[in-house]
Amino acid sequence: MEPDTGLTRMTTRSKNATTHPGIIAQDALRVHRKKEEVEKEKELKNAQKAARRKKRVADEAREAAGRVYIARLKAEEAAAASDMEKEIPRKRPQAQAAGAKG
């Protein structure tokens, strides 16, 4: 047999020897966005964030106003109930009065 000179074996170039074929395929799919596109996306994201913040503040203000309104209604109902008690005199039950003397 003849000595193996290496000419019959298939070889690759040194820069491609360690590159995975999947990486090459992914490189083709990558999209490099322009600076203007990135800035538009940032502005849109910041606008959405500001809108969410503004909505949250409005919701909190509405809930606080609702709590104040409910508290005012309860106070008015309590005042009306105390006025009703003043108008209707109540007698002490006879059983308690008799039991207290004895």
Residue-wise pLDDT tens digits, 21-32: 788 788 878 888
pTM for this model (two decimals): 0.46
Q: How far is CA 67 from CA 31, 53, 63, 79, in A?
A: 52, 21, 6, 18
The residue extents of the domains of the chain are: 33-84
CA angle 79, 80, 86 (to 5 degrees): 90
Residue 42 has pLDDT above 70, yes or no: yes
Q: How far is CA 60 from CA 54, 67, 70, 73, 102, in A?
A: 10, 11, 15, 20, 60
Distance CA 102, CA 96 (A): 10
| Side chain identity at residue 7, one-letter code | L
